[in-house]
């Protein structure tokens, strides 16, 4: 008996790479799409896309979208939506500007206060959604209007700036080179290599564990190639960045947030419960899950991340404008859906949302370099969103 079982499990452990790819096309489809899109623009722009200065810009330009996409992923997995994040970005930027420019408060005060205000804004919206069962669409649509209005009121219709140097570092700062050479920035390269090693190490450990339980269906060759590619990509990117000014602070913030939220969604009870709540709220409730509190926390978290994005955006422009963050919510929501989250909740990954945000970002950047007008950019982005979701639905139906 035991021997037959072992043989079956070892047979299961080594299916062909093509079969594996076919069955996991949903997991890797968007990553492949991102690589293809990058390669295409790299070719069309004659290598401008991957130039260190442009790459640095790409990260800086998209950091706030990515940070919000992480929070939005949780909201969407929980079965809701948040339309107010763009306005919150504007409002927090305005608040930061008033505090540091008009009142001269130091950055160490401004940043925590703004994050706290974001948390409260998210919490307030979450309160109505969670405990009063008012649809998130309506509550956050109201929030979108309210905070856009408050942004205008706070700034009295004017742009306020410039920010003090310390505040600007939020967005424009770079990790200094501890090795003191400067260019190429050795610290950036070292950090890149460390990050790559850490990712490969964690992947190998989790693979070893699942092999021990005989439940691994990823072919070894696929595992090797995948991790080698990821490691090479990270090290190559850090090399490219090191030849310019090194790693932007924002990139580190982003990486840390991605790591934290990936861990929370994959391995903690709170993450598990959010997926359960989005998958079947009634069943979750009857399983003893406090669905109201979780919904509330998801929105509070979204508010805080939107505030962080607002600070970074304001720091990047070095001024707070009444239009800041306008229509950001659409890019953020699109990124999450491109990344494979389900409209009905319960499905979606942090890394998917990040990839979705990068797809949008690379397209924005690439099309701008090519000189495509904002009109056609919108059209193309809309079609990509539709195509991504159709692709997802198609794969789901095929799987049935």
Partner 1 sequence: MENIILEMRGITKTFPGVKALDSVNLKVREGEIHALVGENGAGKSTLMKVLSGVYPYGSYDGDILFNNETARFSGITDSEEKGIIIIHQELALVPLLSIAENLFLGNENLDNGVINWPKTYARTLALLEKVGLKESPSTLLGQLGVGKQQLVEIAKALAKDVKLLILDEPTSALQENDSAKLLDLLLEFKAQGISSILITHKLNEISRVADSITVIRDGQSVSTLDCHAQAISEEDIIRDMVGRDMAHRYPTRDKASDDSHPGKMLMAVEAWNVWHPDALDRQIIHDISFHVRAGEVVGIAGLMGSGRTELAMSLFGQSYGKNIQGEVTLRGDIADLSTVPNAIKSGLAYVTEDRKELGLILEETIQINTTLANLNGVSSRGVIDENIERQVSEDYRKALNIRTPSVFQKVMNLSGGNQQKVVLSKWLYSQPDVLILDEPTRGIDVGAKFEIYSIINQLADDGKGVVMISSEMPELLGMCDRIYVMNEGRFVGELEQADASQEKIMSMIVKA
Give the shortest CB-265-to-partner 1 separation in angstroms.
Answer: 11
Residue 185 burial (CB count, 10 A) = 25
Q: Measured in whole angstroms, how far is the alpha carbon of residue 10 from the centre of its chain?
A: 37
| Placement of tokens 């293809």 in the chain | 36
CB closer to partner 1, 11 vs 108: 11
Rounded Cα–Cα distance for residues 10 and 360 (Å) = 41
What DSSP string describes 281-305?
HHHHHHTT--HHHHHHHHHHHHHHH
| Minimum gap (Å) between residue 276 Cβ and partner 1 | 6
Q: How far is the CB of 214 from partner 1 (least distance, A)?
A: 9
Residue 62's nearest CA partner among 383, 334, 378, 382 is 334
Cis ω for the linkage preceding 389 (within 30 of 0):
no
Q: How far is the CB of 148 from partner 1 (least distance, A)?
A: 33
Please give the Cα distance from 109 to 96 (Å, whole number).
10
Q: How far is the CB of 277 from partner 1 (least distance, A)?
A: 9
Closest approach, Cβ 207 to partner 1, in A, equals 13
Q: Min. distance of Cβ 5 from partner 1 in angstroms?
A: 11
Measured CA distances, 133 to 78, 130, 136 (Å): 14, 6, 8
Closer of 180 and 288 to partner 1 (Cβ): 288
Question: In this complex, which beta carbon is closest to partner 1, that of residue 237 or of residue 264?
Answer: 264
Q: Least CB distance from residue 25 to partner 1, whole Å? A: 17
| C-beta of residue 152 within 8 angstroms of C-beta of residue 322 | yes
Q: How far is CA 309 from the centre of its chain?
A: 11
CB 364 within 8 A of CB 58: no
Give 53 or 270: the residue with its C-beta nearer to partner 1: 270
CB-wise, 51 or 272, nearer to partner 1? 272
Nearer to partner 1, 133 or 282 (CB): 282
| C-alpha 315: how far from chain center | 19
Residue number, 103 or 132, with CB nearest to partner 1: 132
Q: Positive or negative CA dihedral for 380, 384, 385, 386? A: positive
Binding region for partner 1 (CB under 8 A)? 12, 209, 213, 215, 267-270, 272-273, 275-276, 279-280, 282-290, 346-347
At 320 the three-state DSSP class reads strand
- Cβ proximity to partner 1, 192 vs 340, nearer residue: 340
Q: Which residue, chain included where needed, has tokens 């909740």? A: 345
């Amino acid at each position: 008996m035991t021997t037959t079982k072992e043989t079956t499990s070892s047979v299961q452990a080594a299916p062909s790479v093509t079969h594996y790819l076919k069955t996991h096309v949903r997991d890797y489809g968007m990553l492949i799409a991102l690589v293809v899109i990058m390669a295409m623009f790299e070719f069309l722009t004659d290598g401008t896309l991957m130039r260190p200065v442009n790459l640095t810009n790409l990260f800086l330009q998209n950091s706030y979208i990515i940070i919000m996409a992480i929070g939005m992923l949780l909201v969407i997995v929980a079965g809701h939506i948040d339309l107010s994040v763009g306005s919150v970005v504007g409002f927090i930027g305005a608040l930061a500007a008033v505090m540091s420019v008009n009142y001269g408060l130091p950055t160490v005060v401004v940043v925590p206060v703004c994050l706290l205000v974001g948390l409260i804004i998210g919490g307030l919206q979450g309160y109505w959604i969670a405990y009063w069962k008012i649809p998130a669409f309506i509550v956050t649509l109201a929030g979108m209007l309210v905070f856009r209005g408050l942004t205008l009121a706070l700034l009295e219709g004017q742009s306020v700036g410039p920010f003090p140097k310390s505040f600007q570092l939020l967005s424009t700062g770079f990790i200094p080179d501890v090795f003191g050479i400067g260019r190429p920035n050795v610290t950036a390269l070292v950090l890149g290599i460390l990050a790559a090693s850490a990712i490969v190490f964690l992947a190998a450990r989790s693979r070893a564990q699942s092999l021990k339980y005989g439940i691994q269906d990823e072919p070894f060759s696929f595992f090797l190639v995948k991790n080698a590619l990821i490691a090479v990509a990270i090290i190559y990117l850090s090399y490219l960045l090191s030849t310019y000014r090194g790693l932007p602070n924002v990139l580190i913030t982003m990486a840390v947030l991605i790591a934290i939220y990936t861990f929370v969604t994959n391995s903690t009870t709170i993450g598990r419960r959010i997926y359960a709540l989005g998958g079947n709220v009634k069943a979750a409730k009857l399983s003893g899950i406090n669905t109201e509190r979780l919904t509330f926390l998801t929105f509070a978290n979204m508010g805080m991340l939107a505030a962080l994005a607002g600070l970074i955006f304001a720091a990047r422009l070095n001024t707070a404008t009444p239009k800041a963050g306008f229509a950001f919510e659409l890019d953020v929501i699109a990124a999450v859906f491109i990344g494979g989250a389900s409209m009905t909740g319960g499905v979606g990954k942090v890394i998917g949302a990040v990839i979705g945000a990068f797809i949008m970002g690379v397209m924005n950047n690439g099309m701008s370099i090519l000189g495509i007008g904002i009109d056609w950019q919108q059209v193309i982005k809309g079609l990509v969103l539709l195509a991504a979701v159709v692709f997802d639905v198609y794969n789901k139906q095929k799987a049935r």
